[in-house]
Chains A and B, each alone.
Chain A
Amino acid sequence: MKRAPLTYRLPPWTKEQLARIREIERDYHVRAFGEELARVNLDMTKEERHRYLAWMRKTARAHGVKIGRSRPPYGDES
Chain B
Amino acid sequence: MTDTDQLLFYEDLVRKLRARGVICAITSGLACVHYGVAETTQDCDLLCHPGSFPVLLDLLAETKIDGQPCHYRGNISPPLDARWHHGGWISHFQWDTQPNVTTLDVFGHALRESSPWPQDIFGLYAGAHTVAAMKRTNRDKDWAFVTALGVRMIEADDERGWLHIFEADTLLEMLEEHRCPRDLAASRPALALALKNDTQLAGALNAERKLWEELDRRRIHILQHHLRAYVSAVRRARAGKALPLKPEHAVRVECAGLHLPENPLKTYGLQKYFAEAKAALVESSLVPENALTWLPDVMIYFEWLNT
Contacts and interface: CB of A to CB of B under 8 A. Distances in A.
Interface of A: 2-7, 9, 11-13, 17-18, 20-22, 24-25, 27-29, 31-33, 37, 40-42, 46, 49-54, 56-57, 67, 69-70, 72-77
A75 B4 CA distance: 28
Contacts of B224: 74-75
Interface of A is mostly: helix
12 contacts: A3-B35, A4-B122, A4-B125, A6-B127, A6-B128, A6-B158, A25-B152, A41-B148, A50-B7, A53-B40, A69-B43, A72-B76
Nearest to B222: A74
Contacts of A52: 38
B246 to A, nearest CB: 21
Interface residues of B, number: 56
Contacts of B4: 50-51, 54
Interface of B: 2-4, 7, 33-43, 73-77, 90, 92, 100-101, 103, 105, 122-123, 125, 127-128, 137, 144, 147-148, 151-158, 167, 169-170, 173-174, 177-178, 220, 223-224, 227, 231, 235
B155 A4 contact: no
Contact of B40 (A7, A67, A76): A67
Ranked 9 nearest A-B pairs via Cβ: A3-B36, A6-B156, A77-B76, A54-B3, A32-B144, A11-B157, A74-B224, A77-B74, A24-B173
B211 to A, nearest CB: 18
